[in-house]
Structure 1
Amino acid sequence: MKKFIFVSSIMFVVALSNLNAAYCTASGSNQFVHITRVAIGDIDNSTGGTSYSDYTAQSTSVTQGDTGVSITISCNQTYAYSDLGVWIDWNQNEDFTDAGERMVCSGDCTGNGTFNFDVPADATLGDTRMRVRLKYSGTDCGRPCGATNYGEVEDYTITVLDDEPTPVTLSEFTAEYAAGNLALYWTTQTETDNSGWNIYRSETEILEDALQVNGQLISGAGTSSEPTDYVFVDENEVAEGSTYWYWIESINSSGQTETFGPISLQIPVEGENPDDQDFENYGLFQNYPNPLSNSTSISFNLPEVTNCELTIYNIKGEIVKTFSGNNIKSGEFNWNGKDENGNDVFSGIYLYKLEAGDNTYIKKMILTK
């Protein structure tokens, strides 16, 4: 059964930060010995000899906690003193000196060398740097930085993925301002281990400028293969003529997050006609009377003739009543405060949603008895 979740808001501030740094340089001045091939996952790169090569545009992914990840490296010469080293910056602090970041150290580069390594379970998610270095003379594989007289250095990108992803299939995310109410609504087709949602709002397109506007976590659907509809009413103050940007963030039980958006919405100025038409000309109108005690009329006006469906939900997101219309442009539905089985429903807040073609409209009403 399709579910529907409704919440409202209180605003508070969340601080976000970003760190930037640079990796150390490394090179070999003479390519008497050099790397001829690096193969790991989606990367399979055959090259000639250069002092340093930036191949970070080439990437492959690994998952936190992976074991036995295989990397194959080929060299042009076979010498007992040719040292091969591979480093991966697992914590993304822009160096290779932390414990567990040297993946390979070998003095035997005889044609094709294949090595295996494990990915730390706490490796930082996202893109990071892998450095491959071949040098001649000595047995020290512990120097990912600096210059050597002979050898070559190549850098690649490794993408670390979550071992417990938050797969949410989002099919819709829109906003609407009508009758003084600003509402967001979004629909997921599937959710896996989704504990809930946070909502962020900004007066710019930059997420780092955003404020969190939900006072508590909005409950998610957990694990579900059925569509789930959400509505969030932003009760914080808005200014006429201003534009606001919104993001939604899903969170799983391990605290991993995924962010969707932004979408934007401009608040109309009273008396002006956005898009050269009256703001309320098209769409779903406020029911009358509201609050209702016995019955109410819900009217609508659509941009074109289409099939439509009006669904009434209780505050738990359960479907109470559904109306449908075929080949219709405008009209109204009358609700008598009963469910599909003809039973009286309890007093409280109800949501009603009109789906018509590619358009979706949502409003709320109050039933008192």
Structure 2
Amino acid sequence: FKGIAKPDRVELSWSDNASNEQGFAIDRKHDIQSFAEIGRIGANKTTFIDSTVVSLKTYTYRIRAYNGAGSNMGLDFPVITTLGDGSSVRLEAEAYNKMSGIANNGTGIGSCDNGDYVMFAAFDFGPGFDLLTARCTVPAEYAGQKVLVKIDKRNGATIATLKVQNTGGWDNYQEQSAPMERVTGIHDLYFVFSGSSGIGNFDWFQFSRSSTVITQQDKRMLNFHLAQNYPNPFNPATTIDYQLPSACRVTLQVFDIRGRLVDTAVDRDQGAGHYSIQFSNPELASGAYFYQLSAGDFSARRKMLLIH
């Protein structure tokens, strides 16, 4: 059974091991919901497309072969949907397909000791990502331990190494990032924990693409655009996406509710393309803020809410 997440759908495929089925029923659930049937297809069919998914959600699918005598119960298979144009993909840590050693608390993973791992099957890297982000808690005594991201097998090639830093205790979640090698295509994905016992607790892992390489035809089709940040409200970090149809000087600035400049997230020349910026500022108080994109003659502003 394989589930591939695309920006606007999930593509399911499986092996037909039955010889007398009338067809296959496809069940789906999200989070703690119960399974619900979302479709049926005829006998000897082995693919199904679910186009009713929402970005950055974890869905679990089940395929059932059925006939007049009833139906069998297939294996549960979690799939994590991508975000928008595929510039980011978030993996809920507890939605792994296989693990060794770790503890699953239903909303994340813990007890991540040296050599433990979680595996996500058939992950689609698409054209590749260049940034790994993890939301985790790490007490001071375990700072400096590592999360190794590997592909294809437990001891496969390492494409990213996140050296975790002290977050101020087991209950204080923070986002930490590391650069990663751009890998394309579909691979089994392993997060392998390296260091002493109790490396940290992990809520989710996210892969992001800082910009998208586009063709000359794509460039002509682009317009200036500033997207709403996500998540919103946020704490401590949020992502701001924007796109440029041509090269220009770009500034992305943050203002408080009184219009005072409090931070500058971007101030540089950039080429045409899609961009995704991670923004956080621990010195800012809770409240409403505005972020403003200025690019050439274009200017746009949106509101976001920080909650501590």
Query: What TM-score comes out, normalization by structure 1 length?
Result: 0.25
Greater relative CO (CA pairs within 8 A, separation 6+) = 1
